[in-house]
Structure 1
């Protein structure tokens, strides 16, 4: 469970870091908590989890099929000794598509290393050298598991980068859709929210508690009492992220419906 929690947290942080960097920001701006990172990692890992379960079931079926025949098992074990060559064979193709092979190489390395360790430790040790053989087996498995763990975090980091950059591209496309709720901000003082399609108005009502009204804004993120806003013309390559704190002097309204998607200005 500790390893699973560590992988989930690392994936949540790595994907958020890749997403914010693609947007020209940094994840520390949003002051995310541990639970935020864990929650952000759940949905993207559904597909890898299903693929992992499918691979394990296929491996179990293959193992049962191989062990039914002694000759077949011997051939399989001899071939498994060369499993470590699989990631090495893919390395020359890395430059063709780095983003893809950064994910494929560690994913191939994990089963390849495990297969190699299994093949080299499968033969029963001789009675005369039992202690030495056991130490050798433990060393092989320890080294293999360490390399597999490093490959796992490498694969998680690569997949998180793909997910994060995909989220950033989706955010850039969806800023003026229902994915980004429309926001109206009222404030006692001028918050200096200008540009990217945003606009401000003086509130003329004498009994109003607020003097300024800001429209043309979209909700980017909420963290505690901090509301992160962008304007409807915002783009990652050129745009401003505003951070507003909700308090007695600032009120934030969230507008739903098709009218909320209008430029409002």
Structure 2
């Protein structure tokens, strides 16, 4: 039961990290567009899905760090003499992340991620060194418990700090990629037909009156790109959209509004079609 409880706690922490990363990266991305993530009304599953791909590399790094820790512990167990000389030095491991703070202003984006990532193993090493030499008494056990409890709290805080920093890097990277690829297949071409004028103008959008007799729609809008879909809402930008000087349109597909997704070069020709 104790093992199941531990596994459940780890799964809950992992899910919380996934959700937080999804939100933080989306927030950084939308802020780069001078928007806010709240306008998309994303669900919990949306945030979780947006975090999975970007966390593959950190997950592998965490697994590698855990394997390294297991190997190191095994090595210390097999070589007690070397352990006795190494462990006392680990007591001062917490000084390494502290020493990085003065360099923060040199490269904030780098050290904002490096400091918490360095703090986690250093704090664990410090706690291990402090608790390894304590005796078996009740007072010593309480002392070890207090040290590990404080260490876990600090490591969790450092973890969320690192996740926030990495999410900001990922989110801003997505925004830069979106700016570069708005006229590539990464943004599907869209044509919107509507019974009434939707007032979609600018950013390279072509608005036309539908002249065909018997048509259920009176207006046609081309030159649009699919930005995002959330529930029944479709977010669109123009083919000349730029984050600093662009418009994000929202439409809902219904009997009065039809949305067509155009593949291939036909949907990317300049001018009105």
Give TM-score, length-normalised by structure 2.
Answer: 0.94
Query: 1:75-112: per-residue Cα shift (whole Å, max 9, x none)?
Result: 12111101111100111110011111110000000001
Q: Distance in 2 between matches of 1:218 and 1:135?
A: 61
- Shift in Å, 1:264: 3.9
Q: Secondary structure at the match of 1:28?
A: helix
2:6 match:
none
- Shift in Å, 1:135: 1.4
Matches within 5 A, 1:240-259: 240-259=247-266
Tell me which stretches of 4 or more aligned residues in structure 1 moved more than 4 Å. Answer: none
Report how many aligned residue pairs link the two structures. 262
Is the Cα–Cα contact under 8 Å of residues 178 and 261 in structure 1 kept in the other structure? Answer: no
- Shift in Å, 1:72: 0.4
Q: Distance in 2 between matches of 1:258 and 1:83?
A: 58
Q: Distance in 1 between matches of 2:152 and 2:129?
A: 14
Q: 1:73 is matched with which residue: 58, 83, 98?
A: 83
Q: Secondary structure at the match of 1:17?
A: helix
Deviates more, 1:233-242 or 1:132-141: 132-141
- Shift in Å, 1:134: 1.4
Unaligned runs of 5+ in 2: 1-10
1:29 match:
39
Is the Cα–Cα contact under 8 Å of residues 117 and 140 in structure 1 kept in the other structure? Answer: yes
Q: 1:105 is matched with which residue: 90, 112, 115?
A: 115
1:216 match:
223
Deviates more, 1:246-255 or 1:57-66: 57-66
Give TM-score, length-normalised by structure 1.
Answer: 0.97
Query: 1:153-204: per-residue Cα shift (whole Å, max 9, x none)?
Result: 0000000000000000000000000000000000000000000100111001
Tell me, yes or no, if structure 1 residue 133 matches structure 2 residue 143: no
Q: Distance in 1 between matches of 2:228 and 2:213?
A: 33
- Shift in Å, 1:65: 2.1
- Shift in Å, 1:229: 0.3
Q: Secondary structure at the match of 1:228?
A: strand
Deviates more, 1:11-20 or 1:134-143: 134-143
Q: Distance in 2 between matches of 1:136 and 1:224?
A: 52
Unaligned runs of 5+ in 1: none
Q: Secondary structure at the match of 1:237?
A: helix
1:115 match:
125
Matches within 5 A, 1:1-265: 1-125=11-135, 130-265=137-272
